[in-house]
Amino acid sequence: MKKILFATTALVATAGVAAADVTFGGYARWGMEYNDARADEKTRMESRFRLIVTASTETDSGLTFGAQTRMQLDENESSYDTLGGGTGGFNNVRFWVATGGLEVSMGHVQGAFEYMPGIYDGSIGLTGLGYANIVDNYGRDTYTSGGQGRQGVDIKYSMGAFSAWLSHSYAQTTYGVNGATERTALWLAYSAGNYTVAVAGQDSDVVGDTEWALTAAGTFGPATVTLQAADNDGDMKYGLALGYKVGSATTINAYVNHDEALNLATGGENYGLGVVHNLGGGASIRGGVVSVNEVTRADLGVQFSF
């Protein structure tokens, strides 16, 4: 992540503060993506550019204040267009204050489930290929790259082996923010050596939203194995994710799970296999193939971080 340090009166408005810290980071990716379910153009180009801008400052007493926004452009950039005219836009800003192991943020809510340990384990390829490895099926608040996102509050805390995250998005119809939907989610996690267990719960007024989720991950030599389960409003989804290091530069990822919500609630299976080969300098070759409810998808491409 590149860092630029500004120490000007335009950025420093409080006496006694020496400087504000502004960083620019993100990633870029491009390649090809295949989806057998499409009637035509089964193989398409895939690309993404994501820019994250973070500004922060630390007070004399040790408090850190910060703000962050994100812009994303895909090959179909209009899907992230917040202003019209076919250009990608920045999302609404998240603001926070932090001290020690505690951080409180407001504005664009991140969502506790989105950052639950182990929830993204087993992600495949360049694009995630539908992210069917996610056992909560996104039945919760999710931090978005374009537009206003959900508005709310996140409270994070960590101390030693223990960590926790509470998020709340409120019902508000003014200017179309959030609408009538209201969600409160919480996860608790404990790590001991090579093992991490996390449990999460959610109170939501949206039909189909996740009620609880559980992940348990352990590292055994070159392999990391994660058990994942979630109750998505009465429909269970549960499975296994695997990451296996082949040498110092290559990782093989895989997952398999059963989702009771598929096929008109009769259930179905998802599974995938992918590889990430690091080239150095933050660049990597990524690809994979999945079967999501008997639909084959695949991708291959290059990604680099900056």
List the domain boundaries for the chain. 2-33+42-305
What's the predicted TM-score (pTM) here? Answer: 0.87
Q: What is the pLDDT of residue 175?
A: 64
Q: What is the pLDDT of residue 176?
A: 64
Q: What is the pLDDT of residue 34?
A: 98
Q: What is the pLDDT of residue 79?
A: 53
Q: What is the pLDDT of residue 130?
A: 96
**CA dist list (Å): 239 to 66, 272, 296:** 37, 12, 19
Q: What is the pLDDT of residue 184?
A: 97
Give 272's Cβ-side CA count (13 Å radius). 32
φ, ψ dihedrals at 264, nearest 5°: 55, 45
> What parts of the chain have a pLDDT lower than 70?
1-19, 77-88, 174-176
Reading phi first (left if > 0) and then psi (alpha if -120 to 50, else beta), residue 211 is in alpha
Q: What is the pLDDT of residue 224?
A: 98
Q: What is the pLDDT of residue 292?
A: 97
Class assignment of domain 2-33+42-305? mainly beta
